[in-house]
Every structure is written in structure tokens, then in C-alpha cells.
């Protein structure tokens, strides 16, 4: 009898933990949905009280389902197409730069491959002007609005990586 009561209490406690986790996830989803744009600097995201670890509860790493040596080549090619697509969008929109710029970003994808969010930070010695950064963000928003990750994941996921923007030749 006592064993049965302890087991029941354990099941209730586990249920409460799971429900609390679901509530936190729903709250996080509302917070993300309220963000004014898809593209934001990482510093703006952290000012809102979000961390990459917290975001991973809603958007687990896209590569987490594979071991390091078994990530499908098609998945990696899809990520490379995202990076190249961004650079091509900048060039197509007439953006010019004479210095190499570097940023690190994390894309958060919906199950259909559309981009829910892209959080980024500039890095490196060479930094673009504030005017260039503002124009970059506008182009990035338009790019994110139409981009679809080609590798079918059928779940929310995140992918991060560096972006090197070399001057056009």
C-alpha cells in the first residue's frame, strides 16, 4: 500500500514537472511570437530575457538527431544554400562593401522550413557602418520572409554558424 502511494506521488510530481515545462514552452512561444521582426541582434534578444539555451527548448538543434559523422550531406548543403542565399540577396539588393565582414547567427526554422527567427551578432575587427548594418537588416528581413530550408525536417529546429561576407570581386 505504501509503495503504491509513493509511486502515485512520484507520477503526480512528474506530471507537474512536465506541465510546468509545457507552460514555460507556451510562454516562450508567445514571447517569440510577439517579437517585432524575424531578424534581431543577439544583444536585443538577450535584453528581452531570452537565452540560446532557453530557445533550444522550442527549437532543438537541427543536427542533434545525428552523430557528428552521420549528418546527411543534403542537410549541410541546405545550410550552405542559406548562407549563400543571404550573400546573394545582399548583392542583388545593390549592397556594396569593401571590407570583409563577419557575423555569427542562429536561424530558427518552422517545420515547413520557413524561417521563424534569425538572431545574429557582428564579430571581427572590421565592422560595418551603422547605416550599412541598418540596410543589411532590411535586406535580411526580406530574405528571411521567403527562404525555405530545403532539407525536410518536419519539426522546429535551429541551425547556427558563421557568415563571412567577402567584398564582391
147 in the same domain as 103: yes
**Could you list the residue range(s) of the whole structural domain that residue 122 is in?**
38-165
113 in the same domain as 55: yes
Angle at 149 between CA 145 and CA 152, to 5 degrees: 135
124 in the same domain as 75: yes
48 in the same domain as 9: no
144 in the same domain as 113: yes
Residue 36: per-residue pLDDT: 59
* d(C-alpha 105, C-alpha 42), whole Å: 8
86 in the same domain as 137: yes
- 133-152 pLDDT, tens digit per residue, is 999 999 999 999 999 999 99
- 39-65 pLDDT, tens digit per residue, is 999 999 899 888 888 888 899 999 988
Alpha helices of 35-72 — where are they, by DSSP H? 42-47, 52-55
Handedness of CA 87, 35, 134, 55 (dihedral sign): negative
81 in the same domain as 16: no
20 in the same domain as 80: no
55 in the same domain as 30: no
- 92-125 pLDDT, tens digit per residue, is 999 999 999 999 999 999 999 999 999 999 999 9
Residue 34: per-residue pLDDT: 60
Number of domains in the chain: 2
Amino acid at each position: 500500500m505504501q509503495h503504491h502511494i509513493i509511486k502515485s506521488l512520484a507520477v503526480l510530481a512528474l506530471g507537474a514537472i512536465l506541465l510546468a515545462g509545457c507552460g514555460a514552452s507556451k510562454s516562450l512561444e508567445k514571447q517569440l511570437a510577439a517579437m517585432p521582426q524575424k531578424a534581431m541582434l543577439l544583444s536585443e534578444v538577450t535584453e528581452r530575457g531570452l537565452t540560446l539555451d532557453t530557445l533550444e527548448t522550442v527549437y532543438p538543434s537541427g543536427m542533434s538527431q545525428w552523430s557528428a559523422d552521420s549528418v546527411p550531406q543534403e542537410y549541410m548543403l541546405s545550410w550552405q544554400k542559406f548562407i549563400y542565399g543571404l550573400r546573394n540577396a545582399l548583392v542583388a539588393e545593390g549592397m556594396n562593401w569593401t571590407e570583409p565582414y563577419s557575423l555569427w547567427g542562429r536561424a530558427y526554422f518552422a517545420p515547413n522550413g520557413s524561417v521563424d527567427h534569425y538572431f545574429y551578432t557582428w564579430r571581427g575587427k572590421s565592422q560595418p557602418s551603422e547605416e550599412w548594418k541598418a540596410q543589411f537588416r532590411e535586406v535580411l528581413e526580406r530574405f528571411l520572409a521567403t527562404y525555405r530550408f530545403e532539407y525536410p525536417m518536419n519539426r522546429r529546429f535551429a541551425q547556427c554558424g558563421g557568415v563571412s561576407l567577402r567584398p564582391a570581386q
